[in-house]
Amino acid sequence: MGIMLTDTKLQTIAEKVNHDERLTIEDGLYLFDSPDLLGIAQLANQVNHKKNGDHVYFIENMYINPTNVCEANCGFCGFKRKPGEEGAYTMDSDALLEYVEKRWNDNIREFHIVGGHNHEVPFDYYLNTIRTLKKHYPQVTVKAYTGAEIEFFSRISGLSMKEVLEELMKAGLDTLPGGGAEILTERYRLKMSPDKASTDQWLEAHEIAHNLGLKTHATMLYGSIETKEERLIHMDRLRKLQDRTNGYMVFIPLAMQPRSINAGIKRRTTAYDDMRTLAISRLMLDNFDHIKAYWINIGVQLTQMALTFGSSDIHGTLIEERISHAVGALTSQGITREELIYLIKSAGKTPVERDTFYNVIKTY
């Protein structure tokens, strides 16, 4: 593909990309500053095309948040409740099964389970959540508990993180979601999520999971107090772990949602920042197969744009999603399969329905 770059300094970075040379944090900082956003998009598109052709993946999944009771106080969360607070809940097995049954259809391939760090219930509660789902829906992949939750379970159970993961796998855990990463620098975590796993603990939880044979996901929550350099340090830390384990399947940049649905445009990330961050993620994370544009988070139209900015995955036909919507997400809470396929096709790409591990179920 011939790429037209209006920014001469980008030429040097393009040379590196063309020769499969790893970009440095300095290169990344330049990409955040370059006026040539479309040039960056073309480079990211080229890298993605090399890895994935024109395939864009999606999955039919169901979100389950078994409890919203949480000991942590994170600066970005509108989901958590304290024990006994109005709106606080913890589902038992019956409530869990009832929740799933109401939303069930036979195309669902994955349960995505994330909840509060609820210290009012024992570790066995979290194991039992998985056991219950596996017993009733053995064919569905269980993607459960973030790296931060793994560290929390280790604290409440007295087990090591490795033992925690082994117990969860015995109960039927198939993969870890990417949440709880936020921004992987201590400056950020001390300010925004002081009660949650440290940078090293989050990375360690995933490294242990990879070494036990689990493939996992990675996210980045951007758009608050972090610097551009911290976003790049975050990517670099993931990339170094991926060099060692090759256990990550996908990277998901998530735009910070404001506390209120009525928040003005200045309280949100800009479309430019969303697109640039996706494209830079594709260029920096050379050892990740997929960059996901999460439509719930940036909206369907920007997600469609993201498909030419280096993204090869747009998440799924979600019926309901609560965490982003507990804060001020503007997007609808569900999208149908037909709409999703239209979204991909009308961007000139090929929709591919996948399972959790990127095995093709059907190409449209």
74 in a labelled binding site: yes
Which residues neighbour 354 within 8 Å (Cβ) at sequence distance 6 or greater?
Answer: 57, 58, 59, 360, 361
77 in a labelled binding site: yes
Spatial distance between the Cα atoms of 304 and 342, rounded to a whole number of angstroms: 10
What 3 state SS string does the chain have? Answer: CCCCCCCHHHHHHHHHHHCCCCCCHHHHHHHHHCCCHHHHHHHHHHHHHHHHCCEEEEECEEEECCECECCCCCCCCCCCECCCCCCCCECCHHHHHHHHHHHCCCCCCEEEECCCCCCCCCHHHHHHHHHHHHHHCCCCEEEECCHHHHHHHHHHHCCCHHHHHHHHHHHCCCEECCCCCCCCCHHHHHHHCCCCCCHHHHHHHHHHHHHCCCCEEEEEEECCCCCHHHHHHHHHHHHHHHHHHCCEEEEEEEECCCCCCCCCHHHCCCHHHHHHHHHHHHHHCCCCCEEECCHHHHCHHHHHHHCCCCCCEEEECCCCCCHHHHCCCCCCCCCCHHHHHHHHHCCCCEEEEECCCCCEEEEC
Q: State the angle between helix axes of 199-211 and 161-171 in degrees (0 to 180), rounded to the nearest 10.
A: 50
Sequence ranges of the binding site for [4Fe-4S] cluster: 70, 74, 77
Sequence ranges of the binding site: 70, 74, 77
